[in-house]
């Protein structure tokens, strides 16, 4: 019990705030004698006095009162009751907020270092691509881009017409391999990897009906490359396959280097095996780290294809080799096109590879060659604007942008099987994403514009439908384009909760994270894609709450050039 004061006339003693450390720790009164107080002298303690700084924020975050702020008195309680009367609420007037489901992929973390990097966009770009030199613009005239959205946007319904196509035969029987591990990897490649390389199960994957038969009948090196690819993909979920992946990949690379160093250059270039090995190694590096090494294979393939085309001759090994080479060339060219839409770098493959009249939907591309041709032209026009922002004011530039928009709106992507709804949806998804990309890269559209919001909602709806059908191929690029164009000031609801299942978020950002998690089993590098998306979100949010204008605003850069392009060097989205 507290002790009573004998002399009621004596004023209460105030708390000593300058006592020694031992007295304060023991909560006894210190007489502050120097060099040692009486309490420490009696107990034999070292008498030390120091000042300890206390911060109100630390106390508030811990839920504790700071200083005497939390001192309770009867008078203060009476005042609180008088000023804050109790309000009685009926049960009918109470509405409980539903607690959302939280998943492991739902967290976007930002540290103090991230905030410091967001002060300048150049710092982010240098971290995102420290090795590959991203195309930079020189000093430009301070001219703001006044390119407005062109009036050519019109609603359209996709028209799908049948066409005839060659249905490839089934691959031969699997060969006997030297170890059970290799046999398991080959089965994994055929059962797990090949089906996720095409959006529709109606069409056979070229990785199954072209590359696998060629590896079994003609090229042990290609077969070993397929095993390395399977081990690399499997190591994402099972680290026990990591060493096997590295060993097989090293053997394939050593074989390729040996041929290039010892054999005739033209003979090596004309052999389909060389191009196929480079394609598989390129896909291996994309799955593995998605750094500059996959671009090295891409540039090497360009030189190899150039030699083949200059020779104007194919080896006499049958029609299957021609189809195999054509697919390998298409693979590299498509990787180049889709990757450049994000970063705006110089092309590795020229736009003449694609025909603007190709309206047939390719089963592996998930769209038509005509759409890819339009993407090439959009990217090249965007590069012109990035080097000279003032060109957006020229009638020629505006006419070209409007012409590309008209071509996108009227594009017909025909599908061989009219009942193949999945391939039709995949082609329409890429066309919608291309329209969104055009408006942002050429017409100066921003995430807050209703046109952009509408396109983002449509893209996310199609992505959701394809994910429900188990499709993983071809979703990375459309999802990326929609994700980087989300308005940080609005929590976009792309669908009503009644239209989606319980485990699918109906708000844009949670859905993007959900979709990326679903794509973790694809043959793309989801880790890097998510990293860039998060950096774009953080940069947009930082600039919206900052009093300073974004980096590049005075130079006339549009929204895509300020926030997206500097972060996307060495990035594969195909």
Report d(CA 558, CA 386) in Å as an integer.
8
| Average pLDDT score over residue span 530-547 | 84
CB 235 within 8 A of CB 247: no
| Predicted local confidence at residue 251, as pLDDT | 93
Site of tokens 């770098």: 345
| Predicted local confidence at residue 427, as pLDDT | 93
List phi, psi (to 5°) of 39.
-65, -45
| Average pLDDT score over residue span 299-324 | 71
| Predicted local confidence at residue 530, as pLDDT | 92
Residues 6+ away with beta carbon under 8 Å from 45: 22, 39
* Eight-class DSSP state of 12: P
CB 334 within 8 A of CB 574: yes
Across the chain, what does the average pLDDT equal?
A: 79
| Predicted local confidence at residue 463, as pLDDT | 94
| Average pLDDT score over residue span 314-327 | 65
Q: In Å, what is the CA distance from 470 to each residue of 122, 250, 396, 518? A: 39, 33, 44, 9
Q: Average the pLDDT over each of 169-173, 381-385, 397-401 and give the range with the smallest value.
A: 169-173
Q: 372: pLDDT confidence band, cut at 50, 70 and 90?
A: very high
Per-residue tokens: 5 = 């004061």
Measured from the Cβ of residue 542, the count of other Cβ atoms closer than 10 Å reads 18
Residues in the chain, total: 574
Report d(CA 294, CA 297) in Å as an integer.
5
| Average pLDDT score over residue span 173-189 | 81
| Helix or strand (DSSP H, E) at 213 | helix 212-217
Q: Average the pLDDT over each of 53-67, 68-82, 248-262, 371-385 and give the range with the smallest value.
A: 68-82
* Eight-class DSSP state of 368: E
Q: Average the pLDDT over each of 4-18, 57-71, 182-196, 514-528 and give the range with the smallest value.
A: 4-18
* Eight-class DSSP state of 192: I
Site of tokens 């053997």: 251
Q: Is 56 exposed, middle or buried (0-12, 13-18, 19+ CB in 10 A)?
A: exposed
Residue 279 has pLDDT above 90, yes or no: yes
Residue 542 has pLDDT above 90, yes or no: no
Q: In b/e form, how buried is each residue of 61-80, taking b as 16+ CB within 10 angstroms?
A: eeeeeeeeeeeeeeeeeeee
Of the two residues 566 and 356, the one the predictor is more confident about is 566
| Helix or strand (DSSP H, E) at 286 | helix 272-288
| Predicted local confidence at residue 269, as pLDDT | 84
Residue 274 has pLDDT above 80, yes or no: yes
Q: Is 553 exposed, middle or buried (0-12, 13-18, 19+ CB in 10 A)?
A: middle
| Predicted local confidence at residue 493, as pLDDT | 84
Measured from the Cβ of residue 181, the count of other Cβ atoms closer than 10 Å reads 14
| Predicted local confidence at residue 16, as pLDDT | 62
| Predicted local confidence at residue 164, as pLDDT | 34
Residue 84 has pLDDT above 80, yes or no: no
- Tell me which range, 47-56, 228-237, 298-307, is most confidently predicted by mean pLDDT: 228-237
- Tell me which range, 3-12, 126-135, 183-192, is most confidently predicted by mean pLDDT: 183-192
| Average pLDDT score over residue span 37-66 | 82
Task: Look at residues 472, 567, 483, 461 and name the one whose alpha carbon lies nearest to residue 524.
Answer: 472
Checking phi first, is residue 318 left (phi over 0); if not, alpha (psi -120 to 50) or beta? Answer: left
| Predicted local confidence at residue 159, as pLDDT | 34
Report d(CA 478, CA 432) in Å as an integer.
8
Task: Look at residues 366, 367, 350, 370 and name the one whose alpha carbon lies nearest to residue 358.
Answer: 370
Write out pLDDT tens, residues 416-468. 887 788 999 999 999 999 999 999 999 989 999 999 999 999 999 999 999 99
Q: In Å, what is the CA distance from 364 to each residue of 104, 409, 443, 455, 476? A: 32, 23, 30, 24, 14
Report d(CA 5, CA 9) in Å as an integer.
9
Set out the domains of the chain in order of their start, with CATH numbers. 17-52 (4.10.240.10), 117-567 (no CATH)
- What is the tally of helices (H) and strands (E) in the chain? 23, 2
List phi, psi (to 5°) of 361.
-75, 120
Report d(CA 567, CA 129) in Å as an integer.
7
Q: In Å, what is the CA distance from 37 to each residue of 21, 29, 51, 334? A: 11, 10, 17, 82
| Predicted local confidence at residue 138, as pLDDT | 37
Write out pLDDT tens, residues 217-266. 888 999 999 999 999 999 998 899 999 999 999 999 999 889 888 888 88
Q: What is the DSSP string of 472-534?
A: -TT-HHHHHHHHTT--TTS--B-S-GGGS-TTS-SBHHHHHHHHHHHGGGSSS-HHHHHHHHH
| Predicted local confidence at residue 89, as pLDDT | 64
| Predicted local confidence at residue 98, as pLDDT | 66
| Predicted local confidence at residue 136, as pLDDT | 32
Report d(CA 390, CA 408) in Å as an integer.
25
Write out pLDDT tens, residues 118-170. 655 444 444 444 333 333 333 333 333 323 343 333 333 333 333 333 334 44
Share of the chain above pLDDT 70, in %: 75
Report d(CA 284, CA 532) in Å as an integer.
21
| Average pLDDT score over residue span 388-406 | 90
């Amino acid at each position: 019990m507290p002790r009573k004061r004998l002399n009621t006339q004596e004023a209460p003693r105030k708390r000593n705030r300058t006592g020694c450390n031992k007295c304060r720790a023991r909560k006894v009164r210190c007489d502050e004698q120097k060099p040692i107080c009486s309490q420490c002298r009696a107990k034999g303690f070292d008498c030390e006095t120091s000042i300890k700084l206390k911060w109100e924020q630390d106390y508030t975050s811990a839920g504790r009162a700071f200083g005497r702020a939390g001192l309770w008195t009867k008078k203060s309680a009476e005042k609180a009751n008088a000023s804050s009367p109790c309000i009685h609420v009926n049960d009918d007037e109470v509405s409980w907020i539903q607690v959302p489901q939280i998943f492991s992929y739902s967290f976007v973390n930002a540290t103090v270092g991230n905030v410091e990097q967001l002060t300048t966009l150049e710092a982010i770009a240098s971290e995102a691509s420290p090795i590959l030199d991203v195309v930079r613009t020189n000093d430009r005239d301070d001219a703001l881009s006044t390119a407005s959205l062109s009036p050519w946007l019109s609603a359209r319904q996709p028209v799908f017409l049948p066409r005839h196509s060659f249905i490839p035969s089934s691959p031969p029987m699997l060969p006997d391999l030297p170890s059970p591990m290799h046999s398991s990897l080959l089965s994994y490649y055929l059962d797990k990897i090949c089906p996720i390389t095409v959006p529709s199960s109606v069409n056979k994957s070229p990785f199954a009906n072209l590359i696998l038969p060629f590896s079994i009948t003609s090229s042990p090196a290609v077969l070993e490359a397929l095993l390395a690819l399977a081990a690399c993909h499997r190591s994402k979920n099972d680290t026990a396959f990591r060493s096997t992946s590295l060993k097989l990949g090293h053997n394939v690379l050593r074989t390729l280097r040996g041929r290039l160093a010892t054999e005739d250059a033209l003979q090596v270039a004309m052999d389909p095996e060389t191009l196929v090995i480079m394609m598989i190694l390129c896909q291996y590096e994309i799955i593995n780290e998605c750094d500059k090494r996959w671009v090295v294979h891409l540039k090497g393939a360009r030189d190899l294809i150039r030699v083949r085309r200059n020779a104007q001759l194919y080896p006499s090994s049958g029609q299957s080799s021609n189809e195999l080479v054509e697919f390998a060339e298409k693979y590299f060219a498509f990787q180049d096109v889709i990757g450049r839409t994000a970063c705006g770098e110089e092309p590795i493959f020229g736009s003449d590879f694609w025909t603007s009249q190709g309206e047939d939907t390719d089963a592996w591309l998930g769209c038509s060659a005509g759409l890819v041709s339009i993407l090439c032209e959009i990217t090249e026009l965007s590069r012109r604007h990035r080097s000279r922002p003032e060109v957006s004011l020229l009638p020629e530039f505006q006419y070209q942008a409007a012409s590309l928009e008209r071509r996108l709106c009227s594009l017909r992507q025909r599908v061989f099987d009219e009942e193949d709804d999945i391939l039709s949806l995949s082609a329409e998804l890429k066309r919608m994403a291309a329209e969104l990309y055009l408006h942002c890269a050429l017409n100066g559209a921003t995430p807050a514009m209703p046109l952009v919001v509408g396109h983002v909602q449509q893209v996310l709806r199609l992505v959701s439908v394809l994910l429900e059908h188990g499709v993983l191929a071809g979703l990375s690029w459309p999802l990326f384009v929609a994700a980087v164009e989300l308005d940080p000031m609005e929590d976009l609801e792309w669908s009503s909760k009644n239209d989606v299942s319980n485990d699918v978020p109906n708000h844009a950002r949670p859905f993007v994270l959900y979709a990326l998690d679903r794509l973790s089993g694809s043959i793309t590098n989801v880790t890097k894609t998510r990293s860039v998306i998060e950096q774009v979100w953080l940069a947009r949010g930082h600039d919206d709450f900052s009093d300073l204008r974004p980096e590049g605003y005075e130079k006339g850069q549009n929204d895509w050039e300020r926030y997206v392009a500097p972060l996307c060097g060495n990035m594969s989205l195909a």
